[in-house]
Copies of this chain bind each other. A is one copy, B any other.
Amino acid sequence: MSQINNNKFEEVTLSTQPIFEGKIISLQVDTVRLPNGKTATREIVKHPGAVAVLALVDDKMLVVEQYRKPLERNQIEIPAGKLDAGEDPLEAAKRELEEETGYRCDTMKLVCSFYTSPGFADEIIHLYVADQLTKGDAHLDEDEFLDVESITLEQAQQYMREQRISDAKTITAVYAWQVYKLTGSF
């Protein structure tokens, strides 16, 4: 595994069947040739990618509470949103933070980028940290409904235990924040 070989175990695309083209995602089913010569199908969700922000104000992180239809309940998450077509991730992070919370930040840094579900989706989330914030006014999309709050690390950990925080990007951000507080780096 010490050699980088991105083609090892490669699955060669034999055909692609488009299934659905939506506003947020699209779906296709690829037929592939496996390393053993057999064929298999792969269900693949295409997503434009997203950004999320660990935004720190006075040693608290900004979170938004919103309804998540796939879960049929509210979730508390860090500010986030999907990339517009051709949009730079850093610019998208600044835009989403300001839209959802009203806070501006000109000097965000990338913590990490991660694929949410590499088994069936190509969605990538770029997670930024922002700690030099200026307060302005939120300006939500017309059909966007959420509450903004700021919470301590201990509150975030309590929300994780209560499953009110239970999404990958927010849990990653909480762990990264804890590591930063313990070590001084992400």
Binding site for B on A (CB under 8 A): 1, 4-11, 19-20, 22-25, 27, 29-30, 32, 34-36, 38, 40-45, 47, 50, 63, 65-71, 73-77, 82, 112-125, 143, 145-147, 149, 160, 162-164, 166-169, 171-172, 175-176, 178-179, 182-183
Question: A35 vs B68: C-alpha distance in the bound complex, in angstroms?
Answer: 13
Question: A18 vs B178: C-alpha distance in the bound complex, in angstroms?
Answer: 42
Given contacts A169-B168, A172-B168, contact A117 B123 (CB under 8 A): yes
Return chain B residues, CB-CB under 8 Å to A124.
Answer: 166
Copies in the complex: 2
Given contacts A115-B166, A115-B168, contact A9 B122 (CB under 8 A): no
Return chain B residues, CB-CB under 8 Å to A76.
Answer: 1
Question: A147 vs B32: C-alpha distance in the bound complex, in angstroms?
Answer: 20
Q: Are A120 and B168 in contact (CB under 8 A)?
A: no
Sampled A-B contacts (10; CB under 8 Å):
A1-B63, A7-B74, A19-B27, A25-B120, A70-B121, A114-B166, A114-B168, A114-B171, A116-B117, A118-B167
Contact for A77 among B7, B47, B118, B146, CB less than 8 A: B118
Question: A131 vs B9: C-alpha distance in the bound complex, in angstroms?
Answer: 29
Q: Are B149 and A1 in contact (CB under 8 A)?
A: yes
Q: 19 other contacts beyond A36-B145, A42-B69, A113-B166, with CB at 8 A cut-off? A: A4-B162, A6-B73, A19-B19, A24-B119, A24-B120, A34-B143, A35-B145, A36-B143, A45-B120, A47-B117, A68-B115, A68-B118, A70-B118, A82-B119, A115-B168, A116-B117, A118-B167, A175-B179, A182-B183
